[in-house]
Chain A
Amino acid sequence: MPAFYTVTGADFAAILPETILALLGLLLILLDAFARPLRSTFPYVALVGVAIANVMGHYTTGAYFAGAIEVSDLTKFVEFLTLAGVSLAILGGETLLARDNKNQGEFYAFLLWAAAGVILMVKGGDFLVIFLGLEIMSISLYVLAAWYRELPASVEAGMKYFLVGAFASAILLFGVATLYGRLGTTSLSKIAGHVQANPAIGFDPLLAFGLVMIVAALGFKIALVPFHGWAPDVYQGMTTPAVAFLSTAPKAGAVVVLIHILAVTLPGALGVPWQPLLAILAGITILFGNVVALAQRDLKRMLAYSGIAQMGYVAIGISTFTQEAFEGVLVFLAGYLVTNIAAFLAIGALSNGEKESHPLSDLAGLGRSQPMAGGILALSMLSLAGMPPTIGFIGKFLVFRAAVDSGFVMLALVGVAGSIISVGFYLRVVYMLFMKDATREVNVAPDDIPSGAAYLLAAAGMLALGLFPSALIDFARSAASSISLL
Chain B
Amino acid sequence: MGTPIAFLPILVMIVLAMGLGVVMLLLNFLIGRKQPSARKLSPYESGMPLLDESRKRISVKFFIVAMIFIIFDVEVAFLFPWATVFREGGMRLFIEMLIFLAILFAGYAYLWKKGAFDWE
Contact = CB atoms under 8 A, between A and B. Distances in A.
Interface of A: 26, 29-30, 33-34
B103 A26 contact: yes
B117 to A, nearest CB: 13
A33 B106 CA distance: 11
B40 interface: no
Contacts of B106: 26, 30
12 contacts: A26-B103, A26-B106, A29-B110, A30-B106, A30-B109, A30-B110, A33-B109, A33-B110, A33-B113, A33-B114, A34-B109, A34-B113
Interface of B: 103, 106, 109-110, 113-114
Q: Interface majority SS on A: helix, strand, loop or mixed?
A: helix
Contacts of A26: 103, 106
Nearest to A33: B113
Contacts of A34: 109, 113
B53 to A, nearest CB: 25
Contacts of B114: 33
Main secondary structure of the interface of B (DSSP, over half): helix
Contacts of B110: 29-30, 33
A30 B114 CA distance: 10
B104 to A, nearest CB: 11
B31 to A, nearest CB: 45
A447 B110 CA distance: 33
Contacts of B103: 26
Nearest to A36: B113
Contacts of A29: 110
A404 to B, nearest CB: 52
Contacts of A30: 106, 109-110
Nearest to B109: A30
B82 to A, nearest CB: 16
Given A30-B110, A33-B110, 10 more contacts: A26-B103, A26-B106, A29-B110, A30-B106, A30-B109, A33-B109, A33-B113, A33-B114, A34-B109, A34-B113
Contacts of B113: 33-34
